[in-house]
Amino acid sequence: MTDKSKQTKLVQAEIGVDKTFGAVSPPLYLSSTYRFEQFDQQGQYDYGRGGNPNRDALGAAIADLEGGAGGIVTSSGMAAIDLVTNLFKADDLIIAPHDCYGGTHRLLTHRAEQGRLRVIFVDQNDPKALDAAIAQQPKLIMIETPSNPLMRLVDIAAICKAAKKVGAQVSVDNTFLSPARQLPLDLGADFVIHSTTKYLNGHSDVIGGCLVAKTAEHAEQLAWWANCTGVTGAPFDSYLTLRGMRTLFARMDIAERNTQAIAKFLHKHKAVEAVYYPGLRSDPGHKLMKRQQSGPGAMLSFTLKGGRDAARVFLENIEVFQMAESLGGVESLICHPATMTHRGMADEAREIAGIGDNLVRLSVGIEAEDDLIAALKNILVQI
């Protein structure tokens, strides 16, 4: 399916299907339980933890976008990440990126400490380290690209190829780009993970997740585990997320256009040290971005020349941008990774990872480009 026909299918998902009243928008089914049709004969649904029409519609819509056989909607992105680990045994090895999302790092570390899985964190852009890890016969390789907050890319197709040689499966956290910009299953991955909290819902008012499986067999196993462990998403959250997702392609186009303009503006500004955005031709990830993504997306980070004090003035006084964690909403957000999203890291580890006190991350929204640039311009003359 092309992006255009995916867009049409997404906008129209569940539209006009209501048989009771002919409602154009899909109804919301909050009921936790469903009547049996007869003695010993259940209908399509029986109990809301295992199945719900709104949740199923959302899972199917995300699976369609990613090109998977099924999508399991969970109560958060973290629940989706934990869900995939249920397919593996305690002595199975998982390889994860050393700079993965902090919550992912925490989950895998503590599950390993409990003896429930084995994990090695590696720099997946270091071929020697990656080869050495793959030589240990992992069962699952987790990928997250672009990375947070420095927007480093890793080559999904190359890692999938190496994984297949040792019989490992591959999951890709596609939260930072969404299926409107990157399709990991087409590049050889077996699973795609989303924090739907971000671009898919797109309005910063739901916490949710989804795990998409390439094969029907995996989708079935994962749906079984989601019901077994009770991590399935709520009906109202699913309803809101599908509602927000209809505009995914339109939102991504505008936010990305804004981000490209901001990247160019910051790149030339004398108060800015460096800009991290694969959409810039000078970015080390630019070539891979062209091959792997259908666009650079709307996340960007940069360093200021002035250090921590400059960052403080910048974040406290900038207009239009809200100082907040998270990303992917219609509104623009600004974040200081060292004191916000990455404050849990030890100072030294943060420095090694390149997350200095002068680093600022933007999640660019869909406001008017001129207003976003003006806000940045006004604050940069003050530092």
Ligand X SMILES: *Cc1c(COP(=O)(O)O)cnc(C)c1O
Active site residues: 49, 101, 173, 198
Q: Which residue is nearest to ligand X (CB)?
A: 77
Q: Does 195 bind ligand X (CB under 6 A)?
A: yes
Residues 6+ apart with CB under 8 A from 326: 197, 198, 204, 333, 363
- The DSSP symbol for 359 reads E
* Residue range at the interface with ligand X (CB under 6 A); choices 24-32, 123-131, 190-198, 247-255: 190-198
We find the least distance from the C-beta atom of residue 251 to ligand X, in angstroms, to be 17
Q: According to the binding rule CB under 6 A, does residue 197 interact with ligand X?
A: yes
Residues, the chain, total?
383
Q: Least separation, in Å, of the C-beta of 144 and ligand X? A: 6
Alpha-carbon gap, residue 278 to 249, rounded angstroms: 19
Stretch that binds ligand X, among 72-80, 161-169, 177-185, 223-231 (CB under 6 A): 72-80
One of 58, 65, 73, 78 touching ligand X (CB under 6 A) = 78
In the chain the beta strands, taken as DSSP E runs, fall at 70-74, 93-97, 118-122, 140-144, 169-173, 191-195, 209-213, 272-276, 299-304, 322-323, 333-335, 359-363
User: In whole angstroms, what is the distance from residue 235 CA to residue 191 CA?
Assistant: 23
Name residues contacting ligand X, limited to 131-170 (CB under 6 A).
144, 148
Is 9 or 106 the residue whose CB approaches ligand X more closely? 106
* 201 alpha-carbon distance from chain centroid: 11
Mark the segment that binds ligand X (CB under 6 A) among 25-33, 46-54, 74-82, 133-141.
Answer: 74-82
Give the total of residues touching ligand X (CB under 6 A): 16
Strands (E), 9-116: 70-74, 93-97
> CA-to-CA distance for 170 and 141, rounded, in angstroms?
5
Nearest to 239 by CA among 201, 204, 193: 201
Q: Which of 175, 241, 260, 303 binds ligand X (CB under 6 A)?
A: 175
Q: Which amino acid is present at 353?
A: A
* CB-facing half-sphere around the CA of 40: CA atoms within 13 A: 0
Q: Which is nearer to ligand X, 74 or 260 (CB)?
A: 74
Asked whether position 324 contacts ligand X by CB under 6 A, the answer is no
329: nearest Cα among 237, 212, 196, 184: 196
Q: What does the per-residue mask of binding to ligand X show for 244-283, with x meaning CB under 6 A?
A: ----------------------------------------
Q: Taking CB under 6 A as the rule, which mask of x and - marks residues 99-138 in contact with ligand X?
A: --x-xx----------------------------------
Minimum distance from CB of 33 to ligand X (Å)? 27
In the complex, what is the shortest distance from the CB of residue 101 to ligand X, in angstroms, rounded to a whole number?
4
Residue of 249, 167, 237, 252 whose CA lies nearest to 205: 237
Taking CB under 6 A as the binding criterion, the range among 131-139, 191-199, 275-283, 364-372 that sits at the site for ligand X is: 191-199
Where on the chain is the footprint of ligand X (CB under 6 A)? Answer: 76-78, 101, 103-104, 144, 148, 173, 175-176, 195, 197-198, 207, 209
